[in-house]
Structure formats: structure tokens, C-alpha cells
Amino acid sequence: MTITLRTNKDAALSFGELDANFTTLGLTHGMTTSNVAVGVNTVTATTGTITTNNVTTLNVADVDVSNKIIINETPSNYANAMFVSSGPAYDSNLIIRTSDAVAGNIALTYQREHSGVAAAGIGVGYFSQFKASDVSTAQFLGRVEHNINDFTDNNDYNTKLRISTYTNVAGTQTEVFPIAIEHDNIEANAPVQLKSLSNTDRNALTNLKNGQLIFNTDVNKVQVRINGDWYNITHSS
């Protein structure tokens, strides 16, 4: 249905024409300007906000943006996704925070809203996953997760950062957490491999700190930095 313009008709619009114009715009009886539904194929937003109550799909065919924003995409494409932003390059999806302060570093905050009471184990984080031309189902790569570690009350708790990786053997994915970091402890759940350096490479190091460890390939020993010098860590057989 098209809109009948007064300038095109060159005469007063009839009641039927007015009603038809409002119907075409999506403004029906009982609706207000705050919930107008515009029936068009493409919406281009230069300012303001686009809001949808469509719980099925709002994708690039509906909203014209530089790349693509998908809200409530079908689970077959993005399982359980409520929001997907897609672009062809690593810098296609940016979150920018403007700040004049040197300490204004945080550009994004993830917030977990737990329906129950606070307790150890509650956390928030993000997964990394991939698809490829021969991998149609998204495969997990790992996650970064902040958890409550010890919780007494809102004034007495500690947190833990966990980083995971995945192994995939015979089609079975297993998530492992090789490292966990607390405010006063680093927990290694896998062997730690020190950097291997020759004497020449070691002596070329900068920003040296007491307590640093390396594996010296010239003497085949672990060395520790103590009081500004390197010492072998020896063992007896």
C-alpha cells in the first residue's frame, strides 16, 4: 500500500485515505508515537535507537549497518545467542571508550546477574570459538572467566581468574584449566616451561628483576636471578 500525499492529490484527503496512510505507516488504533511499528524492509539508523520486540530475528536484512548486527538470531546459526556482531576483519567490531584520564582504560564491562544469593563459584567471562569451511558447527577454543573464590558477604570476598583451553580427541572436546590466578597466588595445573636462552641471549635481556627464572641451554640448568646476578639451581642425584 502506498501513501497518498496531499501535494500529489491537489485536494483534501478523504477519511479513508488518511486511515490508509496511517495503516501504511504502521500507526493503528491504540498505538502511540512511542511504539510505532514501521513496515519497511530496511531501516537505516543515523541517530537514535532501534528497538524490536521480534524474538525471532533482527538481522542485516532488517537493519542496515556497516557490517552486521544480529539480535535474537536463530539457534541453528548461533546457539542461544541474543546478540551477534559480525564483520570481515579483526577491527570490524570495536568498542570505543573516550577518556581524557590516563587511567580510563576499561572499555567494556561484563555483568553477571545471578537470580540467587551470592556464593563462591558465581562468575562471568567469555568463550572463544571458531567455524571454518569444513567445520560447520562452532568449536570451542577456550574461555577467560572471573569467579568468586571465597565469599562471606558483600564486604568480605576474594576472586579468581581462570583461563581454559580445549583438547579434541576423536571428536570429544575436553576443557582444561592450566592456570588460575588469585590476588596472592598463581596456581599452575600443568607443567611450566621456562624460556630457553643461551648465555648470549640471557645477557642481552633487559628489564631484569630478582626472582626471574630461565633455562640456560649452555649449562643445561635452570637459573634464577638473585641480587642482580644469575645462579644455577642444582640438584643431587
d(CA 130, CA 202): 38
Confidence of residue 219 (pLDDT cuts 50, 70, 90): very high
pLDDT in tens, 152-203: 999 999 999 999 999 999 989 999 999 999 999 999 999 999 999 999 999 9
Name the H helices within 38-137. none
State if pTM tops 0.75. no
The pLDDT value given to residue 233: 95
d(CA 208, CA 191): 24
Confidence of residue 102 (pLDDT cuts 50, 70, 90): confident
Within 8 A by CB and 6+ apart from 13, the residues are: 4, 6, 21
pLDDT in tens, 35-74: 454 555 555 555 455 555 544 444 444 444 444 555 545 5
The pLDDT value given to residue 113: 87
Confidence of residue 16 (pLDDT cuts 50, 70, 90): confident
Flag the least confident range among 61-65, 128-132, 159-163, 220-224. 61-65
Q: Which of 232, 193, 237, 234 is nearest to 216 (CA)?
A: 232
The one-character DSSP state at 58 is B
| CB burial readout 168-184, b (16+ within 10 A) else e | eeeeeeeeeeeebeeee
Domain positions in the chain are: 1-39, 123-188, 196-233
The pLDDT value given to residue 101: 79
Mind giving me the DSSP string for 123-192? Answer: EEEEEEEEEETTEEEEEEEEEEEEEEEEEEETTEEEEEEEEEEEEEETTEEEEEEEEEEETTEEEESSPP
The one-character DSSP state at 227 is T
Within 8 A by CB and 6+ apart from 124, the residues are: 110, 111, 112, 145, 146
- Residue 79 pLDDT greater than 60, yes or no: no
Higher pLDDT, 2 or 9: 9
